[in-house]
Amino acid sequence: MRLSYERMTWQEAGEASGRLAILPLGATEQHGPHLPLSVDTVLAGGVAGALAEALGAVLLPALPYGEAATSEGHPGTLSLTADTMARVIADIGRGVHRIGHPALILLNGHFGNRAPAAQAAEMLAAEGIAVLCLDYPGLEDLAGAICESEAAGNHFYHADEVETSMMLALAPEVVRMERAVAEYPDFPADFGSRPMLLRELSESGTFGDPRPSTAEKGRALIDGIVAAALLEVAAFCEAHGIEAGAWQR
Ligand SMILES: [Zn+2]
């Protein structure tokens, strides 16, 4: 990854300040018996890196904490409140704007971050700072076409074939496939409408069946997400009058 803040000097950051900036939003959260707590951070960072490469955009360091209160029933989850998360994103957005980047793209890898990301985008929009929130665009269609197992439902991909395959593509050394189990929770009718611990729904922490996961499927999922994201970025830049030079190679 050429334009990554984790490798760049301040002079290089200055030279790249006319480009779009991408912030991966992760979490420190349980992901079943076979995956590490860092899954959402690793996946958001990997997808954001591929997108940054395709766009010639600058990749910012991933946020390794997110709003994950629903997973606090399992050890290993550390959550920010939604308000804290929104403020952290907004502070980074203001910095990105001050440096000169024409817009901030949020690449979210964790369901609990959707609301705080939207809140931060609203705060920044009120200050004239353009923000695009990407939430693995196209994932539902891609998962249906690429994965063998049934999704757990409710637009919820957690420690399943989707996330496990993407982890096998990006960080196979931390995946313990021999510990993978399938679990299909019964979602109550009020799922998502009230605070709820996911442990009430899934003892293992898995939502779906990770066992048919492969790195090949993971690569296809990532490529498909990046292709869909490029369309969203193009529409976003057009709507905000951001010149092609800021995001095309
Ligand atoms: Zn996850």
pLDDT of 2: 80
Q: How far is the CA of 17 from the centre of ligand 1 (A)?
A: 31
Ligand 1 centroid distance, CA of 11 (Å): 35
What is the whole-number distance in angstroms between the Cα of residue 114 and the centre of ligand 1? Answer: 13
Measure the CA–CA gap between 47 and 170, rounded to whole angstroms: 9
Q: Using one digit for the tens of pLDDT, what is the confidence trace for 95-130? A: 999 999 999 999 999 999 999 999 999 999 999 999
CB neighbours of residue 63 within 10 Å: 25
- Span from the CA of 242 to the centroid of ligand 1 (angstroms): 32
By percentage, how much of the chain surpasses pLDDT 90? 89
The verdict on domain 10-246 having CATH code 3.30.460.80 is: no
Residue 40 C-alpha to ligand 1 middle, in angstroms?
Answer: 5
> How many angstroms does the Cα of residue 109 sit away from the middle of ligand 1?
7
Cβ neighbours of 79 (radius 10 Å):
19
Give 73 Cα–ligand 1 centroid separation in angstroms: 15
Q: What is the mean pLDDT of residues 1-16?
A: 93
**pLDDT at residue 51, rounded to an integer:** 97
**Contact 19/57 with Cβ under 8 angstroms?**
yes
Helix, strand or coil, per DSSP, at residue 248: coil
Q: Which pLDDT score is estimated for 1?
A: 65
d(CA 123, ligand 1 centre) in Å:
26
Query: What pTM was computed for the model?
Result: 0.95
Average pLDDT, the chain: 95
Out of 25-34, 128-137, 204-213, 240-249, pick the least confident.
240-249
Ligand 1 centroid to Cα of residue 41, in Å, is: 8
Q: How confident is the model at residue 246 (pLDDT cuts 50, 70, 90)?
A: low
